[in-house]
Structure 1
Amino acid sequence: MSAYFVTGTDTDAGKTLVTSTLLATASAQGLTTLGLKPVASGSRVTPEGLRNSDALALQVQSMPPVSYATVNPWAFAPAIAPHLAASEAGQALNLCDIVTTVGATLAQTPRDLSLIEGAGGWRVPLNDREDFCDIPCAMGLPVILVVGLKLGCLNHARLSAEAIAADGLTLAGWVGSVVDPAFAAESARFADNLDVLKRTLPAPCLGVIPHLEQPSPETAQPFLSLPPLRPLETL
């Protein structure tokens, strides 16, 4: 069983597309998969309860199937920072509760590849004292960084990689995701930016997803490769 924490350089960097595509790739290779989005804001009201589109995408790619509550135990309606959404709902996010829940899920639902998707970037708050990055730190999870390819991405990516290393975790790989098609339109300059990322980020590039008219695991799959699968140490 191998597990990774997926973070991004920013909100809307492409984390869910990358996470769901990696799960789909593993499933296509005959591996069992699990995608978790422990905390999600920006959820819609349904007869079954609050549902978040990112979490639903990960649920679809979890094989064998799991319940929505397994994928996303903390869902909030407002599309704002999760700790603020939780506060508006009269709740408080707590690192211990999240780590306990995620750890129990990984233990009770062992899969060949499990991916835990964060929210926003590396330092997004959970509460006044704890951040989302404390989840992989507490669990000792290697990290996959999704780099939203746009103007400013070099700084965002390198600072994120430095923060991950400073927190004592391994950056297992990074994925480039073209979020600004105009940025990629100038091929020579775009290639130069990718070259800087490949030279300066201390991890292999798992792929670069171009700007897709219809982004989905099916359309993105040709551009990604799986990270190394390694046993998950007992939590």
Structure 2
Amino acid sequence: MLTHFFVTGTDARVGKTIVTRALLQAMAAQGKCALGYKPVATGSQELADGIRNKDAVTLQNSSTISYPYEKITPLALLDEDIYVSDIPENIFEIMTSGLNFMLEGGDAVVVEGCDGWKTLITPNRFYSDWVRQQNIPVILVVGIQEGCVSHALLSAQAIITDGLPLAGWVANRINPCLAHYQETIDAIGNNIPAPLLGEIPYLPRAESRDMAKYIDLSLLHVKNEQ
């Protein structure tokens, strides 16, 4: 049974958080205890109740159990870029400890990454190195816009080359004015060896909507191997 998977994107701002919310809600609709986990959150803000990241808060609100913010995101950073921030040496251990905590409390954990697949978490280590270490199946979010076909195929190739299962991909229509939408979907789908799990239409305030209907969980057949 699939217990956890990792959501990455073709780039930043392609809709990873919205897709993660949709996945969590779809799992909850099937009666599962589904938890969102964002180990590292960049671009956070200092607020009255501490450092907060809006994407992590969305995952907190989208989970079946509302865990404390610090459990959802053990490392919230003010910088937009990960590798220029003050990353502790034991960052992978921190991330793994948080994941294990989540796995103990839920039926399934959706882990949201930062930016694209080959994001640097330190000047010489990739975020994807941790995903490989944990052997987590990957779901790729493709923001449907100009140039996304190449980005999608390159990202899928990199994930597979790294030896991880590509469990599926999700199309997120971030540009409602893009011509040839269906042709773009077909071009990606015909060249990625993974199922299209869903298409997210362009929606204002998607972080507060019910997104479950846009995801087909029946296409997920990958098992986690520990």
> Is the pair's TM-score, using the shorter chain for normalization, greater than 0.5?
yes
| Pairing 1:22–2:27 present | no
Q: Could you tell me which of 121, 136, 140 is aligned with 1:141?
A: 136
Superposition pairs of residues 82-231 of structure 1, within 5 angstroms: 82-84=82-84, 86-87=85-86, 91-92=87-88, 94-109=90-105, 111-183=106-178, 186=179, 189-216=180-207, 218-226=209-217, 228=220
The 10-residue stretch of structure 1 (91-100 or 60-69) with the greater mean CA deviation from structure 2: 91-100
Question: In structure 2, the residue corresponding to 1:118 is in which secondary structure?
Answer: strand
Task: Quote the Cα distance in structure 2 between the aligned partners of 1:98 and 1:182.
Answer: 42
- The residue type paired with residue 120 of structure 1 is D
1:164 Cα shift? 0.2
CA RMSD after TM alignment: 1.8
1:223 Cα shift? 1.9
Task: Quote the Cα distance in structure 1 between the aligned partners of 2:88 and 2:148.
Answer: 32
Task: Quote the Cα distance in structure 2 between the aligned partners of 1:193 and 1:230.
Answer: 26
Is 1:94–1:127's contact at 8 Å kept on the other side of the alignment? no
**Equivalenced residues, count:** 224
Question: In structure 1, the residue corresponding to 2:143 is in which secondary structure?
Answer: strand
Show CA shifts across 1:76-117 (max 9, x none): 123x21222x23xxx4364532443234324432x2221110
Unaligned runs of 5+ in 2: none
TM-score (norm 1): 0.88
- The residue type paired with residue 63 of structure 2 is S
Is 1:93–1:127's contact at 8 Å kept on the other side of the alignment? no
Question: In structure 1, the residue corresponding to 2:35 is in which secondary structure?
Answer: strand
The 10-residue stretch of structure 1 (212-221 or 192-201) with the greater mean CA deviation from structure 2: 212-221
Task: Quote the Cα distance in structure 2 between the aligned partners of 1:46 and 1:93.
Answer: 26
TM-score (norm 2): 0.92
Show CA shifts across 1:192-214 (max 9, x none): 11111111011000111111133
The 10-residue stretch of structure 1 (141-150 or 39-48) with the greater mean CA deviation from structure 2: 39-48
Task: Quote the Cα distance in structure 1 between the aligned partners of 2:25 and 2:169.
Answer: 17
* Percent identity of paired positions between Structure 1 and Structure 2: 36
Is 1:8–1:121's contact at 8 Å kept on the other side of the alignment? yes
